Amino acid sequence: MNSSEDTIAAIATPPGQAGIAVVRISGPDALNIGDKLFKARSGPVSACAGGSFLYGHLADPAGKDGGDLDEAIALIYRAPHSYTREDVLELQCHGGRQSAGRTLRAVLQCGARIADPGEFTRRAFLNGRIDLVQAEAVADLISARTERAARVAVEQLEGRLSSSLADVYDVLLSLAADVEGSLDLDDDEMERELPADWAQRLEVVRGNLQALLSTWGEGHLVRDGALVVICGRPNTGKSSLMNALLGKPRAIVAPEPGTTRDTIEEEMILEGIPVRLVDTAGVRKTDSAIEGEGVRRALDLLAKADLVLHVVDTSVPADTSYTCLDEGLSKTRRIAVLNKSDLPQHIAAEAVVNVSTVTCCALKGDGVESLRKEMAMCLGVSENREPHAVISERHRQLVEKALVELGLAAGSFDGNQDLVLSAIHLKAAAEEIGKILGRSYTDDVLDSVFSRFCVGK
C-alpha cells in the first residue's frame, strides 16, 4: 500500500524528441531531493521562495568527477501553494529519450518513489484542493479528442458541474435537517400540515437532477464519441456516402466481399464530437452461415449505434428482403438516407414513414451538408452551444440513485407522512450526490477514478 507520506516522482511529459521534458516531484522530501541533485549559482532549492524558478545543473549522483546529468530549470512550489498542496519540485530538463529518464532515476536514487497513475491528482483531491468531479475533468482534458471535449473538460475543471452538485447537496441536507427538526416537536404540532415549501424544495432539486441527467447524452458523446453506423443493401452508395461525409476519398473504395471483411471504419468530427463512422458493407437476409455471421455482427453494431444512417437507393424499386435489418433498426435513432437523387426515382420520400429522411446524391456530394445537420440534430449536439456541465457515466449512475431516493422521500411526504423515513431518504440522496463530489469515497472508487490517468499527473 502506497503511503501519502511518501515523496513521489514521475515524468510528466510524453515520451518523444522535443525541447523540454519535466520530472515532477511531490511530498515532504521534494525540496531536499532538489538540494541533493540540483546545483544553482543562486543557492540551494530549499532556500528559495515558492513561485520562483532557478537555472542550474543536475548533478549525476553516480558521476565520478562531478559530471552533470543535464542543464535544468527547477520550479519550487511550497505547500499548500501547489498542485498537490504538498511541496513540489519540477525539474525541466531537455527532451528526448535520455534526459528525463536519467533525471527521474537520479530523483529515485535520492529517495523518492515512482508515482502511481494519477497519484499527483489523487493527492490534490485528498488534500482538498479539488473535488472528485474536478479530478475527473483533469483526465478528461488530457484525453480530450476534440476542441469541444477540451472546452467541456476545462469548464468542469473550473467547477461549474461541482457547484451545481454542491447546491443540490446543500439543499438536500438542509431539507433533511428541517424534517428531522420537526420530529422533536410535540404531538400537537405534529398534527399540523407539513410546511408547504418542503415538497416544493424537493421538486426543485429533482428538477435540477433531471436536468443534469439529460446532459449525460452529450457528455457521453463528447467523451467517448458517437458510433454512427451506415447500413443498407450493397450498391446503395454507402461507400460514396462515407467518403462524402469524411470529405476525402478513402484509400480504397471497392465493392466489399462482405462475408470476409465485415466493416470499414473511419473517424470524423461532427460539431466538435468525435464520430466513429462504420460502414457495415451490404447486409441482407440470408440463409448462408457465413453471411449470417456478417449479419449478426452488423446487428450488434446497430444495437450499439448512437445513430444509424440507413442508405436506400431510390432509383430502384423497394426491396422486401430487409426484414432482419429493419428489426435491428427499429430500436435505434436513425436517418433514412435517400440516395441517388440524380437518377430516375422509384421510391418517393413520402413513402418512408416514422423516421427522418434526407435526400442526397452521395457521389456528387449533394445533400451531404443537410445530412450532417440532421445527424447533429439527431445526436442532440450543436457546436454553437456554449459548453456547460455534462455528466459522465459514473455521475449518471449516482444521480439516478439519488433520484430514486428522492422519489421515496416525496412519496412519504405525500402519503403516510412518515417523516423519519423522509429524512432517511433525503440524507441517502445527499449521500449519492456526495459520492459524485468525493465528499464520501472508498479506496475502490478512487482507484477506479484514478486508474484512467496517465503517470505524471
If one asks whether residue 43 binds its own copies (CB under 8 A), the answer comes out as no
Q: In Å, how far from its chain's centre is CA 28?
A: 33
If one asks whether residue 116 binds its own copies (CB under 8 A), the answer comes out as no
Smallest gap from Cβ 136 to its own copies, in A, equals 13
Instruction: Report how many residues bind its own copies under the rule CB under 8 A.
Output: 59
Site for its own copies in 366-395 (CB under 8 A): 386-387
Omega within 30 of 0 (cis) for the link into 257: no
Nearest residue (CB) to its own copies, 163 versus 440: 163
Nearest residue (CB) to its own copies, 138 versus 309: 138
Q: Retrieve residue 359's grid coordinates.
A: 435526400
Nearest residue (CB) to its own copies, 97 versus 346: 97
Smallest gap from Cβ 75 to its own copies, in A, equals 6
What is the per-residue binding string for its own copies in 64-103, x denoting contact by CB under 8 A?
xx-xxxxx-x-x-----x----------x-xxxxxx--x-
Smallest gap from Cβ 70 to its own copies, in A, equals 6
If one asks whether residue 409 binds its own copies (CB under 8 A), the answer comes out as no
If one asks whether residue 7 binds its own copies (CB under 8 A), the answer comes out as no
Nearest residue (CB) to its own copies, 82 versus 215: 82
Nearest residue (CB) to its own copies, 105 versus 233: 105
If one asks whether residue 13 binds its own copies (CB under 8 A), the answer comes out as yes
Nearest residue (CB) to its own copies, 93 versus 391: 93
Q: Retrieve residue 90's grid coordinates.
A: 519540477
Sign for the pseudo-dihedral over CA of 249, 250, 251, 252: negative
If one asks whether residue 293 binds its own copies (CB under 8 A), the answer comes out as no
235-250 in b/e form (b: 16+ CB < 10 A) is: ebbbbbbbbbbeeeee
Site for its own copies in 129-188 (CB under 8 A): 138, 141-147, 149-151, 154-155, 157-158
Smallest gap from Cβ 42 to its own copies, in A, equals 9
Which member of 15, 28, 207, 249 binds its own copies (CB under 8 A)? 15
If one asks whether residue 61 binds its own copies (CB under 8 A), the answer comes out as no
Tell me the window of 63-71, 193-201, 220-228, 389-397 that interacts with its own copies (CB under 8 A): 63-71
Nearest residue (CB) to its own copies, 53 versus 441: 53
First to last CA, the chain: 19
Q: Is 384 exposed, middle or buried (0-12, 13-18, 19+ CB in 10 A)?
A: exposed
Which member of 2, 4, 52, 448 binds its own copies (CB under 8 A)? 52
Tell me the window of 54-62, 186-194, 291-299, 433-441 that interacts with its own copies (CB under 8 A): 54-62
- Ramachandran bin of 262, using left for φ above 0, alpha for ψ from -120 to 50, beta for the remaining angles: alpha
Nearest residue (CB) to its own copies, 143 versus 359: 143
Which member of 3, 5, 19, 66 binds its own copies (CB under 8 A)? 19
Which member of 4, 43, 55, 440 binds its own copies (CB under 8 A)? 55
Nearest residue (CB) to its own copies, 122 versus 427: 122
If one asks whether residue 350 binds its own copies (CB under 8 A), the answer comes out as no
If one asks whether residue 330 binds its own copies (CB under 8 A), the answer comes out as no
Nearest residue (CB) to its own copies, 220 versus 457: 457
SS3 of the chain: CCCCCCCEEEECCCCCCCCEEEEEEECCCHHHHHHHHEECCCCCHHHCCCCEEEEEEEECCCCCCCCEEEEEEEEEECCCCCCCCCCEEEEEEECCCCHHHHHHHHHHHCCCEECCCCHHHHHHHHCCCCCHHHHHHHHHHHHCCCHHHHHHHHHHHCCHHHHHHHHHHHHHHHHHHHHHHHHCCCHHHHCCCCCHHHHHHHHHHHHHHHHHHCCHHHHHHHHHCEEEEEECCCCCCHHHHHHHHHCCCCCCCCCCCCCCCCCEEEEEEECCEEEEEEECCCCCCCCCHHHHHHHHHHHHHHHHCCEEEEEEECCCCCCCCCHHHHHHHCCCCEEEEEECCCCCCCCCHHHCCCCEEEECECCCCECHHHHHHHHHHHHCCCCCCCCCCCCCHHHHHHHHHHHHHHHHHHHHHHCCCCHHHHHHHHHHHHHHHHHHHCCCCCHHHHHHHHCCCCCCC
Smallest gap from Cβ 64 to its own copies, in A, equals 7
Nearest residue (CB) to its own copies, 328 versus 387: 387
Nearest residue (CB) to its own copies, 69 versus 371: 69
If one asks whether residue 261 binds its own copies (CB under 8 A), the answer comes out as no
Q: Can you give the binding site for its own copies, defined by CB under 8 A?
A: 10-22, 24, 51-55, 57, 64-65, 67-71, 73, 75, 81, 92, 94-99, 102, 120, 138, 141-147, 149-151, 154-155, 157-158, 386-387, 454, 456-457
